[in-house]
Chain A
Amino acid sequence: MESKDAKKESVESTKSIQSIVPRLQSWDPTATAEVIESLGETTLVVRADKLRRICEFLATDPDCQFSFLSDITPVDNFPIEPRFELNYHMLSIARRQRLRLKLRVSGQDPVAPSVTSVWPAANWHEREAFDLMGIRFEGHPDLSRILMPDDWEGHPLRKDYPVEGFR
């Protein structure tokens, strides 16, 4: 009986994730540049200047409630430009849904707006992205290295950084 209910719920949740996109577009028609549906996950590609406002909307809007930031994953697509992408994995506990925001960041001057004002959890995630990928976050309260030593040179997770390190 329970398994039936769980299945029904998951079907409903996959249905209603579609409603997030129209909800966001009715709020701001130019909010998302692209919507990707792949492997059961919804990804919204957003522009840097709108990121913080969209995050605020998604976190606080009663129809979205993505109040829980799971993770921020930086990816290096060297040598393709824009070189970096930031994946924001967020979770709505009330709606039982996950959503991914994708922000593309240029390799020349990797800067992204900080979302620590929306989710304090972003603090360490952004420090990690800064430390290992070299992406700077504007508006971050304490942007410093977190895993590597303070005097380390380079950003180890970049694709042009050798696996064994520089010798």
Chain B
Amino acid sequence: MPTTIETATGPAQTMVLNMGPQHPSTHGVLRVVLELDGETVIKAKPIIGYLHTGIEKSCEAKTYSQAITLTDRIDYLAPLSNNLCYCLAVERLLGIEVPKRAQYIRVLLTELTRCASHLVWVGTHAIDLGAMSVFLYGFREREEIMRIFEMISGQRMMTSYFRVGGLALEPPPGYLERIQQFIDRFPGHIDEYETLLTQNRIWMARTQGVGYLSIEDAIALGVSGPLLRASGLGYDVRKFFPYSSYEEFDFDVPTQTAGDCYARYQVRVAELRQSVRIIKQAMEKIPSQGPIRAEVPGVIPPSREEMKTSIEGLIYHFKIFTEGFAPPRGEVYQAIESPRGELGFYVASNGSPKPHRVKVRAPSFVNLQCLPKLVENRLIADVVACIGTTDIVLGEVDR
């Protein structure tokens, strides 16, 4: 029941509140302008661009292989997903088939990335809503994954491990055992998070029925990933347009129909378990021996051995790392399922060693458009839950 309060200047008007860009629950530098009537949000407008670094423009000034290092920095919670999508796009321009061993290792590592990203999400989302312990547990397991990445690629976050045509390095001996140790324990840890949250009365009260998104709105706004699946539509790029041999893996696409914050939590936790399934299958499939890079002279760098022993290898090595390689004219749009939804790379070549245009279809950017739908006509305390549940990465929103 709205009651009008008389103030010194007449009846009370609505209030405009700036939430962010410096606000702990915006996960970066998101600014949301809220028009409030008391504690109720009447209108919300996300304002972005505080982290715009011009990555798409920078890509045009770099060779195809140099641009890989930039893709890591778009979504810094899932760098390998970005690497993969960009490499797949360039490989399609070049018409290269990647060896199966490299494809399976790519699947293995992108699924580990998905786990790491969802762990950060569940931890920070819970801490926003006042549950501190999940954050600490989640980061314990994420640290394990980061150490696996460091072991394989030498880097914890900005891995740049996937290269056009395959992988950067032969994975070190013992990496599968290390992942096996982690994956044996991990399902038990997921149970741990669920004990803390799934039946938690406060957690349920803060998330159930909050931030409802109908399936029609979700499709109209181009929302993808766990947000779309929590609204009831099982669109997953891995199933719809399989890439990197995903069609050989047996996994389910978890969906919910409630369309609220709690449903999105359930979908993401179920995705963690599906990722474990995929990782286990990938570890069985990966052959212990075999090439990790396609053999395309003049495009894919020769092995270290070949570079040092044959004159052709040396020439190709020199040419690839000074001039780069030039894919034929053409354009491709390649999509993959990143932890946040449909990640797309549009790459256009004009026949020169530098891309003519690289456009990133960032899932966070598109998903953020639905924020006003989630928060309008709800209490201001729910805004925090709704921002958390969209799982945005501002580096990806602004690029």
Residue numbers of A with Cβ under 8 A of B are: 2-3, 6-7, 10, 38-41, 67-71, 73, 75-76, 87, 89, 93, 96, 98, 100, 119-121, 123-125, 132, 145-149, 156-157, 161, 163
- By the criterion CB–CB under 8 Å, are A6 and B247 in contact? yes
The stretch that binds A, out of B126-134, B197-205, B215-223, is: B215-223
Q: Would you give 23 A-B contacts (Cβ < 8 Å), ordered by A? A: A2-B250, A3-B247, A6-B239, A6-B242, A10-B241, A10-B242, A38-B330, A39-B331, A67-B220, A69-B222, A70-B342, A70-B344, A70-B361, A71-B333, A87-B346, A89-B344, A89-B346, A89-B361, A96-B240, A121-B366, A121-B369, A124-B365, A163-B57
* Measured CA separation A163–B92 after assembly (Å): 27
A-chain residues with CB within 8 Å of residue B54 when the two chains form the complex: 156
B49 to chain A, nearest CB (A): 4
Q: Would you call B19 an interface residue if the criterion is a C-beta within 8 Å of the partner chain's C-beta atoms?
A: no
Q: Mark B83-113, 1 if CB is under 8 A from A, else 0.
A: 0000000001100000000000000000000
| A2, closest chain B residue (CB) | B250
Q: Mark B291-324, 1 if CB is under 8 A from A, else 0.
A: 0000000000000000000000000000000000
* Measured CA separation A93–B49 after assembly (Å): 30
* Measured CA separation A132–B52 after assembly (Å): 11
A-chain residues with CB within 8 Å of residue B248 when the two chains form the complex: 3
B-chain residues with CB within 8 Å of residue A3 when the two chains form the complex: 247-248
User: Given known contacts A39-B330, A147-B52, is B242 in contact with A68 (CB within 8 Å)?
Assistant: no
* Measured CA separation A96–B335 after assembly (Å): 13
A57 to chain B, nearest CB (A): 17
* Measured CA separation A29–B60 after assembly (Å): 38
* Measured CA separation A93–B229 after assembly (Å): 13
A30 to chain B, nearest CB (A): 25
Within 8 Å by CB of A7, from B92, B241, B247, lies B247
A-chain residues with CB within 8 Å of residue B222 when the two chains form the complex: 68-70, 119, 121
Q: Would you call B277 an interface residue if the criterion is a C-beta within 8 Å of the partner chain's C-beta atoms?
A: no
Within 8 Å by CB of B57, from A75, A100, A156, lies A156
A-chain residues with CB within 8 Å of residue B331 when the two chains form the complex: 38-39, 41, 87
* Measured CA separation A29–B333 after assembly (Å): 27
A-chain residues with CB within 8 Å of residue B48 when the two chains form the complex: 146-147
Main secondary structure of the interface of A (DSSP, over half): mixed
| B398, closest chain A residue (CB) | A147
User: Given known contacts A7-B247, A156-B54, is B49 in contact with A70 (CB within 8 Å)?
Assistant: no
* Measured CA separation A40–B241 after assembly (Å): 12
B340 to chain A, nearest CB (A): 14
B-chain residues with CB within 8 Å of residue A132 when the two chains form the complex: 56
A95 to chain B, nearest CB (A): 10
* Measured CA separation A96–B241 after assembly (Å): 8
Q: Would you call B76 an interface residue if the criterion is a C-beta within 8 Å of the partner chain's C-beta atoms?
A: no
- By the criterion CB–CB under 8 Å, are A146 and B49 in contact? yes
Interface centre among B49, B57, B222, B330, by most chain A C-beta atoms within 10 angstroms, is B222
- By the criterion CB–CB under 8 Å, are A121 and B333 in contact? no
Q: Taking A67-B219, A75-B356, A120-B220 as given, write out 17 further A-B residue pairs in contact, using a Cβ cutoff of 8 Å, ordered by the A residue number.
A: A6-B242, A39-B92, A39-B330, A40-B92, A41-B331, A67-B220, A70-B333, A71-B346, A87-B346, A93-B240, A96-B240, A96-B241, A98-B241, A124-B365, A147-B398, A156-B57, A157-B57
- By the criterion CB–CB under 8 Å, are A124 and B369 in contact? yes
Q: Mark B134-160, 1 if CB is under 8 A from A, else 0.
A: 000000000000000000000000000
